[in-house]
Amino acid sequence: MSRVVLHIGANKTGSTSLQRRLFAARDEICYRGEDGPGWAALAPLFAALAEEDDLYAPLDAMADAFAAMRAAADGRVLVYSNEDISRSPLPTVCADRLARLLPEATVVLVVREQRQAIASWYVNHGAYLKGVPRRYWRRFVGFDEWMQHCLRFPRMGPLRGFDYAALVELYAARFERVEVLIYEELLADPTAYARRWAALLGLEPAVVEAALTGPRERRRHSRRTLTWSRIRSVWPAPMPPATATRFDSLWQRWLDGGPAMRDWMSPDWQSRIAEHYAAGNRRLAERCGLDLARYGYALEPHSAARPRTGT
């Protein structure tokens, strides 16, 4: 039987580098997920797996796709990676499906300190409206307004995907083995981080380290881009045409070439986000034996820690 690894995220933890440079690049791995074999055809199924209720999800097609994965593995390590699982709007439904499809899998969750993860998510995704009429598409949204919306409508944003303790508890109830890796370790000690993935995948640590220590796959939007987006958001001018001119392309390259957005989250939001996740981080650290304090994670004091009572 093939070794099976189920990588469920989280978002903004280097998943794209794992998928492109490691999972999809090694012959020893049978990989299915973004940038993997057959991605264009499988993407709607993988999205439905995480996002659609049973009433609408193509369950038979999902089962067929995972059976085909097993057949393709043929003794190799089978890796299914979908970081959007971690922020599924139907977390229990999604976890139950995966437990049926890959019951023997080792579940892997990579965590990142939530203030940094949320800042990265906002700059790359939240600052620009999506899923809205064309007139409003990719209009700028300020961080304060975006965060208030995420808190008001938690199923419509990424915040639940950063509640790592809840995810570990959910998947540990359905799978025998759940491994938690720390994104900050990749930055501070890439050799140690690579060893953890190497053990999971049955690869040499040097191979993994070489794959993961290159430049970022997805560059953070620049300060110029967000400043221009803020200006455009108050203009009555129409959105640019779908076909860009050479000038548009040069202008976009100049915007993208500016310094990355960083160090802009207010102290009040820093504090509120830390408080929001501190109790869960304490549970996660104690359950998995993780030194989260070393990497600046907010942790509720031992005496104040409370048992989880719901999602």
End-to-end CA distance of the chain: 35
Query: Are 175 and 247 members of one domain?
Result: no
The segment with the largest mean pLDDT, out of 93-107, 246-260, 263-277, is 93-107
Residue 304 above 60 pLDDT? Answer: no
Q: Which residue has the higher pLDDT, 128 or 57?
A: 57
Query: Are 131 and 244 members of one domain?
Result: no
Query: Are 117 and 246 members of one domain?
Result: no
Query: Are 109 and 229 members of one domain?
Result: no
**% of the chain beyond a pLDDT of 70:** 83
Query: Are 127 and 79 members of one domain?
Result: yes
**Average pLDDT score, the chain:** 88
Q: What is the CATH number of the domain that holds 130?
A: 3.40.50.300
Q: Which amino acid is at 202?
A: G
Give the residue from 195, 218, 241 where a domain finishes: 218
Query: Are 92 and 241 members of one domain?
Result: no
Percent helix / strand / coil, the chain, rounded to 5: 55, 10, 35
Residues with Cβ < 8 Å from 107, sequence gap 6 or more?
6, 8, 171, 175, 177, 178, 179
Q: In what order do the strands lie in the sheet with 29-33?
A: 29-33, 77-81, 4-7, 106-111, 177-182
Residues with Cβ < 8 Å from 223, sequence gap 6 or more?
258, 259, 260, 261
Nearest Cα to Cα of residue 113 among 228, 263, 10:
10
Backbone angles phi, psi at 43, to 5 degrees: -55, -45
Query: Are 72 and 26 members of one domain?
Result: yes
Residue 309 above 50 pLDDT? Answer: no
Nearest Cα to Cα of residue 11 among 133, 132, 114:
114
Residue 254 above 90 pLDDT? Answer: no
Across 112-164, the runs of DSSP E, i.e. the strands, are none
pLDDT at position 259 is: 63
3-state secondary structure of 221: coil
Q: Does residue 200 lie within any of the structural domains?
A: yes
pLDDT at position 156 is: 86
The continuous run of DSSP H or E covering 31 comes out as strand 29-33
Query: Are 145 and 229 members of one domain?
Result: no
Residues 229, 142: contact at Cβ < 8 Å? no
Task: Count how many domains the chain has.
Answer: 2
Residue 261 above 60 pLDDT? Answer: no
Q: Encode pLDDT of 88-146 as tens digits.
A: 999 999 999 999 999 999 999 999 999 999 999 998 888 888 888 987 887 888 899 99
Query: Are 243 and 214 members of one domain?
Result: no
On the question of a cis peptide bond just before residue 10, with omega within 30 degrees of 0, the verdict is yes
Structural domain for 238, as ranges: 223-256
Residue 218 above 90 pLDDT? Answer: no
Render the burial of 97-117: b for 16+ CB within 10 Å, e for the rest: bbbebbeebbbbbbbbbbbbb
Residue 5 above 90 pLDDT? Answer: yes
pLDDT at position 124 is: 85
Nearest Cα to Cα of residue 168 among 289, 304, 46:
289
Residue 214 above 90 pLDDT? Answer: no
Strands 106-111 and 29-33 turn out to be: unpaired
Residue 288 above 50 pLDDT? Answer: yes
Residues 22, 197: contact at Cβ < 8 Å? yes
Q: Which segment of 52-56, 189-193, 301-305 scores lowest on mean pLDDT?
A: 301-305
Q: Does residue 269 lie within any of the structural domains?
A: no
Q: Encode pLDDT of 161-186 as tens digits.
A: 999 999 999 999 999 999 999 999 99
Q: How far apart are CA 18 and CA 284, in angstroms?
A: 23
Query: Are 211 and 227 members of one domain?
Result: no
Q: How far apart are CA 37 and CA 31, in angstroms?
A: 7
Average pLDDT over residues 281-300: 97
Residue 238 above 60 pLDDT? Answer: no
